[in-house]
Structure 1
Amino acid sequence: MNRAIRHLSIFCLVLTLILIANLTFIHGFRQEQYAENPHNPRIRIETQSIARGAITAGGQVLAQSHPDDKGIYHREYPTNSPAYAPITGYLSSIYGMSGLESSYNGILNGTDDSLITNRWRETFLGREHGGANVETTLQPAVQETAYNALTSSGYEGAVVALRPSTGEILAMASTPSFDANSLANEDTAEDNWAALSNDATNPLLNHATQETLPPGSTFKIITTAAGLSKGFTPDSMLTGAPSITLPNTEQTLTNYNAQPCAGGGEVPLRTAFALSCNTAFVQMGIEAGQDALRDTATAFGVGENYDLGIPNAKGALGDLPDDAALGQSSIGQRDVSMSVLQAAVMAGTVANHGKRMEPHLVSRITGADLKEIRSTKPKELNQAIPEDVADQIRDLMIASERSTSGYGGQDIASKTGTAEHGGPDDPPHTWYVAFGPSQDADVAVAVVVKNGGGHGMGATGGSVASPIGRAVIEAALRQ
């Protein structure tokens, strides 16, 4: 064998070994990624030939499959789809799947390994194989209160309500939204996909989990927790001046409308919190220090993803290169970003005496006979702040609620936020985080209305976002 043939043989052998190694790697480690890819045509065939399980909320069917006269199954979303679509997602024979339809695909189509016992039972009994059902934690009355509160005013934004003691998500509304039926229907899917994909308001995005925004003064809950951990108390005196110069700069930061806090001079932290005085929190944030603020933000879950079955963004505290950046970040501006879900977790953590619970959207999985296969148990992630610190912040939030415009005597603890973003002529994002009752809270809520909700530069969290949050808490407490 001459040298050229020998080299060619070795080259072919190496290529063969590489091919075998790659195939082994794909089958062993990447099978699920490719098998569950929403654009895999095999999935399209499966979804049309299997009695896919339902997605439900409080006994209401959010997604279900039904066969036509040819035995081909079609997916439909019978209950106010735009209110739930950012959660259920869609199942399209053209565009694949999203949301719970995607993350629980193996459960819904009956192929998940955890359902093997059910498949054996169905085979033994001679039954047709079908999918299992996904039951969510959503409460329809609370969900639709949140969604309608946003849409009735034409707001772009989001609401999340959860149970502080368990992490169950009771509502997750996102606007603008979309009708999942428009993508499930092959006759309308292409036109609707084009319209939704080209819409600048991103209706296919879950604005409650996938979008992060500057939280403004709602972040002062975290700054307060950091300050209390470093020896501050509700009676600690802080500046009430209308403006403060950031360290080692000529840049000044002002209170809302450049007003002094309670007449100026020095004010106790409890007053600064109730009136949301920026200058006081810049001072306290800087004195507490970078490590305290970063550690506290991390403990509250800023920068963390949750296993919800739907995409969610991490949020961030951002870089803190100097005290000027620390001061700006202490009032929820500069590079600080949070999702509405993270803001709700923050409020729920305070309500739950400092314990942060893992938020979850799926309550349990049931078989075609509705018997429970498995359920989600509450999971404590950490003791984010000591119980006494949480109780002090709760008391500060009670006083804050009573000083907020629109306060109607409800037993609620809250904090509002008005977050600057973009340029000087862009209306602020308005925030509201709250929980109720103020003692042993049964529900915590976070609301954001983007770009002032059409109310211009004078929009505030107290005037725009808080009425929505109060309505959602009231709806949840009625259940």
Structure 2
Amino acid sequence: MTKELRRLSIVVLFMFLSLFVATSWIQVVSAASLNENPLNRRTLYDSFEVQRGSIIAGGQEIATSTASNDIYAWQRQYASPELWSTVTGYMNPVLQSVTGLEQAMNQELSGQAASAFFQRIDQIISGQDPRGSSIELSLDPAAQQAAYDAMTSRGYTGAVVAIEPSTGRILAMLSTPGYDTNQLAVHDSDAVNATYDALEADALEPLQNRAIAGDLYPPGSTFKLITVSAAIASGDYTMDSKLPNPASYELPGSSHVVRNATGGTCGSGDEVTLHDAIRLSCNVPMAELAVELGDDAIRAAAEKYGFNQSFTTPLPSTASSYPELDDDAQTALTGFGQGQVQATPLQIAMLAAGIANDGLVMNPWMVDDVIGSDLSVQQTFEPSQFGQALDADLADAITDAMTASVQDGAATNARIDGVEVAGKTGTAETPNDGPYTLWFTGFAPADDPQVAVAVVVEDGGGQGQSGSGNTIAAPVAKEVMEAVLGR
């Protein structure tokens, strides 16, 4: 009998230890990942009952919690909602829905993050009601407002992203049209469902964050910066290297003909330098160059800037795409940003920021600090490197061509009085011969970059195929850069 009891005791002890290890693992090791799992509805329900922390930009509270007179206790309120909807998203217990930073930083805002452990203990001991932490963003309200005003005053559909090149801090992120997040935060089920259904049915898709996701865009001539990067990084070319300068180019194995935007040659002469091909934004030499380089070399260069990879800012981005290509004709098209290459404005801003930062690409991010309810700093986010896309001297050579493009080339509408600006336009064709997608990307000051920006405007900016990146997108970028620089 004693032997049987001993065996039973060992089994019970083993079961107890197994249960202890399993529960400890769940509570300590797996807690964060379980809380962040979108299928874990309990976390979402718990967060409805807590006074969430604020979302702060430039010292301004752009999202706060106010007491509610219904069963949900607290309701989110948003300042200048359409200005910030791209970033904040919304939270609503009626819809059982949370988006944007409200979702990406839910653990912090609801006080459930590991960084808020001592805050939770203090609240329990002192008898305080649970309260979440606030998050302080890197976004510059002046830059965000400039982007919003520039896009909405002209009725443009598209997106703007501005980045601090040396750190990767996002200074502005805007997708237009936006939407009134307050209308999606109310606790009136009939009203909020009607609002949501109307937004979902809107052909302009205001709920899409065009800056980082949604339907990606052909990058047009902004991609020429990557084609040239691949060329000069190979060691076989410099910015002074010359290419044949015909007015048109028949794609290899195809009857399709590529022409420059002017319909003529890229400047005068039988040859054109890579510097002038960027300055004047010519398609033919870039198509020729892409075929000479091959798609593997161009893809490798693109991936050094972040193509084919998603980034978490903490908002997750859709990966920009440079796929494996079937033939030289497709490779030629990607040389000037057409064909199968697709990009987000975030990626194109990273491209300009990498060139501005001596070829070093930084990971993009938009949350600086997590602040406890007692105003203590619970977590600070630091800059991190994505990788060296290009040697510094080669980045400087591309910068010279981009600066020339703004001074007297294809990007003159980005000029800022008293500031040297480096820029590159893009005018991308769309399927079914539709209105062009219009781009600008660049940075300023060119010799000491403080801001890199990417602007994309859909539907030709209302001008069909008559508008260009210089006439439509460059003025928007100029206003954003001026706001950051305090001009």
* 1:457 Cα deviation from its structure 2 partner: 1.1
Q: How does 1:230-249 map to 2 (within 5 A)?
A: 230=234, 231-249=236-254
Where do residues 63-78 of structure 1 align in structure 2 (5 Å cutoff)?
A: 63-68=63-68, 72-78=72-78
| Aligned partners of 1:161 and 1:172 also within 8 Å | yes
Give the corresponding residue for 2:204.
201
TM-score normalised per structure 1:
0.90
- The corresponding residue for 1:57 is 57
Q: Which residue of 2 aligns with 1:349?
A: 354
Structure 2: gaps of 5 or more residues: 1-18
Please give the alpha-carbon distance, in whole angstroms, between the structure 1 residues aligned to 2:364 and 2:484.
Answer: 17
For residue 78 of structure 1, report the CA deviation from its aligned partner: 3.4
Q: Structure 1 residues 392, 38: closer, same or farther in 2, change over 3 A?
A: same
**Given residue 316 of structure 2, which amino acid in structure 1 is its aligned partner?**
P
Aligned to 2:88: 88
SS at match of 2:443: strand
For 2:194, the equivalent position in structure 1 comes to 191
- Residue 166 of structure 1 corresponds to which residue in structure 2? 167
Deviations 1:226-271 (A, max 9, x none): 1112221111111221110112222211111422211352111111
380-389 or 440-449, larger mean C-alpha shift: 380-389
Whichever residue aligns with residue 206 of structure 1, its letter is N
Structure 1 residue 349: deviation in Å?
Answer: 0.1
Q: Percent identity?
A: 36
**Counterpart amino acid of residue 215 in structure 1:** P
Are 1:133 and 1:367, in contact at CA under 8 Å, matched by a contact in 2?
yes
Contact preservation (8 Å) 1:110, 1:129: yes
> Does structure 1 conserve the Cα–Cα contact (< 8 Å) formed by 2:405 and 2:412?
no
204-213 vs 338-347, which moves further: 204-213
The CA RMSD over aligned residues, in Å, is 2.3
Given residue 476 of structure 1, which amino acid in structure 2 is its aligned partner?
A: V
Q: Which residue of 2 aligns with 1:411?
A: 420
Who is 1:117 aligned against? 118
Match of 2:336 in 1: 331
Aligned AA (1:333)? Q
2:220 is matched with 216
Contact 1:63 1:75 in 2 (8 A): no
Counterpart check, 1:439 vs 2:440: no
Contact 1:352 1:440 in 2 (8 A): no
> Could you tell me how far apart the structure 2 residues matched to 1:189 and 1:70 are?
15
Q: CA deviation at 1:70?
A: 6.6
Provide the secondary structure at the position in 2 that maps to 1:244: strand
Select 2:480's aligned residue among 453, 472, 475: 472
Does 330-339 or 178-187 show the bigger shift?
A: 178-187
Q: Does the 8 Å CA contact 1:240/1:277 hold for their aligned counterparts?
A: no
8 A contact 2:72–2:93 mirrored in 1: no
* TM-score, length basis structure 2: 0.89
Contact 1:38 1:97 in 2 (8 A): no
Asked if structure 2 preserves the Cα contact closer than 8 Å seen for 1:38 and 1:102, the reply is no
- Between 108-117 and 157-166, report the one with greater CA deviation: 108-117
SS at match of 1:208: coil
Of 368, 373, 378, the match for 1:368: 373
Which amino acid in structure 1 is aligned with residue 198 of structure 2? A
1:225 paired to 2:229: yes
- Aligned equivalents of 2:152 and 2:103: distance in 1? 26
Cα shift at 1:451: 1.2
**Secondary structure of 2:424's partner?**
strand
Q: State the shift of 1:200 in Å.
A: 1.5
Matching residue of 1:423 = 432
Amino acid at match of 1:221: L
By how many angstroms is 1:318 displaced? 2.3
The structure-2 alpha-carbon separation of the partners of 1:138 and 1:296, relative to structure 1 and needing over 3 Å to count, comes to same
**Greater shift after overlay, 33-42 or 46-55?**
33-42
Change in CA separation of 1:370 and 1:32 when aligned onto 2, cut-off 3 Å: closer
Letter in 2 for 1:399: A
Please state whether the residue corresponding to 1:313 is helix, strand or coil: coil
2:306 to 269, 276, 301: 301
> Are the structure 2 counterparts of residues 31 and 112 from structure 1 closer, same or farther at C-alpha, using a change threshold of 3 Å?
closer
Report the count of equivalent residues. 456
SS state at 1:423 partner: helix
Aligned position for 1:17: none
1:164 alignment partner AA? P
How far residue 291 of structure 1 moved from its aligned partner, in angstroms, is 2.2
